[in-house]
Amino acid sequence: MTALHLGLDFGGSRSKWHLLRGEQTVANGFTPPLTAALLDTPQGAAHLQALAQALPALPGRVHAGLPGFSPSRPDAGQLRAQLCAALGVQDAQLTLESDLDLAYRAHLHAGRGVLLYAGTGSVAYHVTADGRVCRAGGHGYLIDDDGAGYALGRGALRWLTREQDHGRTPQGPLADALGARMGGVDWDTVRDFAYGEPGAARVASLAPALGEAADAGDEAARAVVEQVAGSLCDLALAVQAQVGAPLPVTATGGALRVTPLFMSAVRRRLPGVTLQFRDHAQAAAREASRSLG
C-alpha cells in the first residue's frame, strides 16, 4: 500500500495537519498551536501529543513548517527529535523548515514576488532566485505584529478601554461584538480575558468581532481596520525597498478574512496586490511526497 504523507502547518493560534496517500486526501484537521519556542515546554508537549492522537494512522513521511525554526538554531536537532518521537518516524523520514518558507513555496516560486502574510502576526517575505531571504516584520507581538489579527484585537481593546478612561460607557456595534465574545465590557472582564492566557492568540481571537462591527458600519472599528491594513502594507513596501524592485505582492492569511474592508484597504495602498488562500498543510504533505520520491 502507498505510504502516508503527513503535512504539518504549525502556528501560534492553531496548527493544521493534512494526510495524503498519493494525491488522495486521507484526513485533515486542526490541533492546538505549536511553535519552536513552545515545543520544549509542558504545554508544547501536550499539544504535540494531541496532534499524534488526532492522526488516524502513522505516516511514512512528514514535512512540517514550524514558526521560529531555522536549521541554524542550537536546538534544531532537539526539535527534530521531539517531533520524530511523537509522530513515530525516524529522522530520515522528517523534513522541517520555518512556517514562512513553507508558506512562500505554497504561493510563489523563488524570485517571483513578495508574500504578505496576515495571520495572528504579520510579515512580508521574499526568497530570491538564489535562495536569499528578504523580510520585514514577523518579530512577534512583543515587538511588532501591527498588521494582522493581534493588532486588530488590540485595536478593539484600546478603543474599549479609552472609552472607559474618558468616563464613557462603550456603545455601538463594536462594544456589542466585544461584549458577546468576552462576556462583558467592564474592566474586570476585559482584564481577565486579555491577560488570562499568555501570548497573542487570545487578543487575536477578537479580530472577527472587530470585523463584524466594521461590516455593521461602526466607525471606530473601521478606523482600526484602516490603521492595521496600513501597517501591513508598510511591510510589503519595506521588502520591495530592500530588493530594489516593485515586485508583485501576494497577500494571504486568516486576518484578511475578518472583513472585506481589510483587503479593500490593502488594495488601495498596494495596487495590483493578489489575494490568494492556499492550504499550507496540504502543500507540506505534497512536499513530503516529493521528498520521499
Q: Which residue has the cell 541554524?
A: 72
Please enumerate in sequence order all residues whose Cβ is within 8 A of that of 284, keeping only pairs 6 or more positions apart, or say none: 7, 8, 9, 18, 63, 64, 65, 102
Residue 293: predicted pLDDT: 47
Half-sphere exposure of 43 (CA within 13 A, CB side): 11
C-alpha cell at 290: 516529493
Rounded-to-integer distance, Cα 113 and Cα 127, Å: 8
Q: Specify whether the CB–CB gap between 1 and 169 falls below 8 A.
A: no
Residue 198: predicted pLDDT: 65
Residue 1: predicted pLDDT: 57
Show me where the domains of the chain are located.
4-97, 109-277
Phi, psi of 16 (to 5 degrees): -120, 140
Q: Specify whether the CB–CB gap between 79 and 87 falls below 8 A.
A: no
The dihedral over CA atoms of 241, 243, 245, 251, expressed in degrees to the nearest 10, equals -80
Residue 1 has a CB neighbour count (10 Å cut-off) of: 5
Domain 4-97 has CATH 3.30.420.40: yes
Residue 201: predicted pLDDT: 84
CA proximity to 211, closest of 173, 170, 172: 173
**Chain centroid to CA 7:** 16
Residue 99: predicted pLDDT: 93
Residue 23: predicted pLDDT: 87
Q: Which amino acid is at 177?
A: A
DSSP string spanning 108-124?
A: --TTS-EEEEESSSEEE
Residue 12: predicted pLDDT: 81
**Chain centroid to CA 99:** 9
Asked if the domains 4-97 and 109-277 are classified in one and the same CATH topology, the answer is: yes
Residues facing residue 58 across a β-bridge: none
Residue 236: predicted pLDDT: 97
pLDDT string in tens for the chain (293-residue length):
578 999 999 988 889 999 999 889 999 999 999 999 888 899 999 999 999 999 999 899 999 999 989 899 999 999 999 999 999 999 899 999 999 999 999 999 999 999 999 998 999 999 999 999 999 999 888 898 899 999 999 999 999 999 999 999 999 999 999 999 999 999 999 999 999 876 788 999 999 999 999 999 999 999 999 999 999 999 999 999 999 989 999 999 999 999 999 999 999 999 999 999 999 999 999 999 886 54
Q: Which amino acid is at 281?
A: A
Rounded-to-integer distance, Cα 218 and Cα 136, Å: 31
Helix (H, G, I), strand (E, B) or coil at 166: coil
Domain 109-277 has CATH 3.40.50.720: no
Q: Which residue has the cell 512528514?
A: 62
Q: Helices 173-182 and 219-243, interaxial angle, to 10°?
A: 80
